[in-house]
Amino acid sequence: MVRIDILTIFPEIFEGMFTHSIMKRAVHKGHAEIVLHNIRDYSSDKHKRVDDYPFGGGAGMVMMAEPIFRLIEELKSKREYDEIIYTSPDGVVLNQSLANQLSMKGNLMILCGHYKGIDERIRETLITKEISIGDYVLSGGELAAAVITDAVLRLIPGVLNDETSALTDSFQNGLLSPPVYTRPAEFRGQKVPDVLLSGNDRLIAQWRHDKAVERTLARRPDILDKE
Ligand code: SAH
């Protein structure tokens, strides 16, 4: 059971994401709890402002320390968090190994930034891990938080229907996945490889491994090297 608290100024972005598919099943089956918090509710400003101009000038606004401190301190007073994550392009880039590690935690918090980012003092004091979802810049951390949440939840035993399915995905064993086929055995003249119809488990496993290695060498030799 993982509890993920998501801190955002746009909780409505997550509607739909967590009410469908795997994410919904994870919550429904009691494997996960996702709690959304609106940072704006913690602003002491009468207009519920959460951002202000950057010291030193320049373009863009900065998310203020106070509302985020108040929200995180309130959450921390209720339970212990294994990680307080800030989504940020300069964080460690999310990969399967990090998703595996996070899926074994009990309580996670994910803070979504906006504008030019958040006041550095939040990062220095409260954040325990900074995660990027890739070398590009998004306008807000919500999509990154959703990506992290999806990657983590599907790894929790019992969330996927076929318990072993997540174990044979790309990256899980330092290899990309082999090709997959389903019925019919012949579609518009294209046949499924004979070995997959042979019923010989050993040959099938060998074929899948060979194809996985071939595909990894062709597309992502960098992950093969790490094995
Ligand atoms: N000025 C910042 C970018 C701010 S983008 C910089 O150059 O590093 C606004 C917010 O979107 C960030 O605070 C962060 O929470 C989120 N974000 C943008 N790109 C992201 C990425 N690649 N991974 C994770 N979060 C990202």
Q: What is the pLDDT of residue 39?
A: 98
Nearest 5°: CA angle at 131, between 127 and 135?
140
Q: Which atom of ligand 1 is nearest to the CA of 133?
A: 23
Distance 161 CA to ligand 1 centre (A): 34
Per-residue H/E/C for 58-106: CCCCEECHHHHHHHHHHHHHHCCCCEEEEEEEEEEECCHHHHHHHHCCC
Kindly list the domain boundaries of the chain, sorted by start residue: 2-153, 170-225
Cβ atoms 108, 4 nearer than 8 A: yes
Residue having the nearest C-alpha atom to atom 15 of ligand 1: 113
| Residues framing ligand 1 (Cβ under 6 A) | 87-90, 112-114, 116-117, 132-134, 136-141, 144
Residue having the nearest C-alpha atom to atom 23 of ligand 1: 132
170-225 folds as Trp Operon Repressor; Chain A (1.10.1270)
The pairing of beta strand 129-132 with beta strand 83-93: parallel
* C-alpha of 160 from chain center: 16
Q: Rounded to 5 degrees, what are φ and ψ at 201?
A: -60, -35
Residue having the nearest C-alpha atom to atom 1 of ligand 1: 116
Q: Report, at the CATH architecture level, how domain 2-153 is classified.
A: 3-Layer(aba) Sandwich (3.40)
Local structure of residue 139 (DSSP, 8 states): S
Longest dimension (CA), the chain: 70
Cβ atoms 103, 156 nearer than 8 A: yes
Nearest 5°: CA angle at 215, between 210 and 216?
100
Distance 220 CA to ligand 1 centre (A): 26
Query: For a substitution probing ligand 1, which of 86, 87, 123, 143 has the most ligand atoms within 8 Å of its CB?
Result: 87
Residue 102 one-letter amino acid: L
Distance 69 CA to ligand 1 centre (A): 19
Q: What is the pLDDT of residue 123?
A: 98
Q: Which atom of ligand 1 is nearest to the CA of 111?
A: 15
Q: What is the pLDDT along the chain (227 residues), one digit of tens a residue?
A: 999 999 999 999 998 888 887 888 899 999 999 999 999 999 999 999 999 999 999 999 999 999 999 999 999 999 999 999 999 999 999 999 999 999 999 999 999 999 999 999 999 999 999 999 999 999 999 999 999 999 999 999 888 887 668 888 999 889 999 999 999 999 999 999 999 999 999 999 999 999 999 999 999 999 986 54
- The pTM score is 0.95
Residue having the nearest C-alpha atom to atom 12 of ligand 1: 113
Give the separation between CA 68 and CA 45, rounded to whole angstroms. Answer: 13
Distance 38 CA to ligand 1 centre (A): 18
Q: What is the pLDDT of residue 163?
A: 61
